[in-house]
Amino acid sequence: MCSVTDVCKCGYSKTDHVDEAIKPEDFTGEPWDRLRHIREVPTDAFGDISFGGLGQKTGKYARVSTETSPEVLYQLLTKQWKLSPPNLLISVTGGAKNFYLKARLKNMFHRGLIKVAQTTGAWIITGGTHTGVMKHVGQAVRDYALSSTINSQIVAIGVATWGMIHNRDTLVHSHGCFPAHYLMDVKGQGRFSCLDNNHSHFLLVDDGTQGHYGVEIKLRSCLEKYISEKKSGVTIPVVCVVLDGGTGTLNTIYNAMLNGTPCVILEGSGRIADVIAQVFGLPLSRVTISIIHQLIKRFFGQEYDTFTHLTIIEWTKKVCVHIDNLGSCRLNYSASKTNESLGIDCWKRQLELAIAWNRVDIAETEIFTEESQWKSTDLHWALFSALVGNKPQFVSLLLENGASLRDFLEDEETLCELYRQLPGCFFLRRLAKRVQSNCHGVMIRPRAHAGEISMTHVSDEVHRLLGIFTQPLYPHSTTINNFSMSLDDSSTSVSMIIHLCAMNLD
């Protein structure tokens, strides 16, 4: 046990510091400043993490700085850890302490969370520790793994504060751990927290301090925002799911609503979630300080005594902001274009989400209803998105409901743009060689511009591959289109686009 004088302002023992950091002549009389007195060094904690026990659960982890850019973290998740980009982000927040959920509510939360994550290809992001709402998410992932016959993993990413992780020393090695054997010692964790063994990936955020909660909040928020804006064509939606929670959770909800992020409140989970659920549906004029005061007293129990009058006023304002922003449309609500109350932006957003999540069933039953009438031009953007996303079922559905292939491809630039969106494959490699030979020695390098490509080049290459079974739709033209492509990307199917180029539309 260290005495107060042996503990640095950062929370670590002074004996854990290098000699230069604790020279009294360098810092005597100066107030401690994290930005001045802490410096970054290359991470010494990364690799695979093994929790042992039944099933030998193994995940990925990395200790990262609070100043790490979201772009670097996204590259770590997708390039190094090989995660497929998500179609939905489910950000789960709420009580950090253990709380009780009734069996019916617990089962409903588990089934709903996993069903959405599985069917949409979502990433679930939590605080990553084995307590509170994070533990409930971990149990939902565990139950799915035990009951599912499908060999598919639910991606549950824990973004936790490094300085609050119990037994974190076992994760440290200058060359990485493959794996690190992590012991979940819940009884001996004290004021710290163990990582949850049912999460699949961990980002452990370090600002150089120990014993301070909330260090990861800003970086987690930036990462979620970056991911939501990453995918071209379709914005990846973010949903905030709230269970239980106190002041920190209310601030998270408040910021989410200001950023336009919808929040799902689980009524019956306790505290702030139940306060908001109780006033949901009331006109703003009836959400008064007195009402919030009564609800806090009802749902917070002994914690009620810690609330000041100013705190209750502030909470009332933030709850009102949440209530005032609960009018967004939902994917399970009919989005037929004939329903004028929704408006064109809403049905378009509904269809955009259905395509992103590859939910043909929802689009067929809720969007393309019998009474809906669609112009071909209304669906061109959706057809483009389905083609780029390699979703042939959606392409068929759109063609059945008014999209005209002739109108869609009337502008040659549309087909050129489809080729711009495709990753490298055998056909594009052949096409690059054809362009190179036509350009009389123009060098085409991986990750460089592929020269000037016209649809004539594409048509000629398709004819070379398929022979007399094609008709040249694109005669030699002086019109050319520039685009860049990568020649070292992984191969993918482009048969749908080749077919569009080669088919006889007459």
Other CB atoms within 10 Å distance of the CB of residue 384: 17
State how far the Cα of 31 lies from the Cα of 332, in Å rounded to an integer. 56
pTM score above 0.75: no
Nearest Cα to Cα of residue 358 among 328, 338, 333, 382: 382
The two tokens of residue 92 are: 């789960």
For 128-147, give the DSSP string.
-BSSHHHHHHHHHHHHHHHH
Output the tens digit of pLDDT for each of the chain's 506 residues. 455 566 676 767 766 666 666 665 455 566 776 666 677 888 999 999 999 765 557 899 999 999 999 999 999 999 999 999 898 899 999 998 888 888 999 998 998 899 888 878 899 999 999 999 999 999 999 988 888 766 678 999 999 999 999 999 999 998 999 999 999 988 899 999 999 999 999 999 999 888 888 899 889 989 998 998 876 556 788 889 999 999 889 988 888 887 778 888 899 999 999 999 999 878 888 999 999 999 999 999 999 999 999 999 999 998 887 666 654 333 333 333 444 444 566 677 778 878 877 888 888 888 887 767 788 988 999 999 899 888 899 999 999 998 999 999 888 888 878 877 766 677 777 777 777 776 554 443 333 334 466 778 788 888 888 887 777 777 654 444 444 444 344 334 344 444 444 443 33
Positive or negative: CA dihedral 155, 159, 162, 167? negative
State how far the Cα of 471 lies from the Cα of 473, in Å rounded to an integer. 6
* Paired strand residues for 484: 449
Tell me which residue has tokens 């609330």: 307
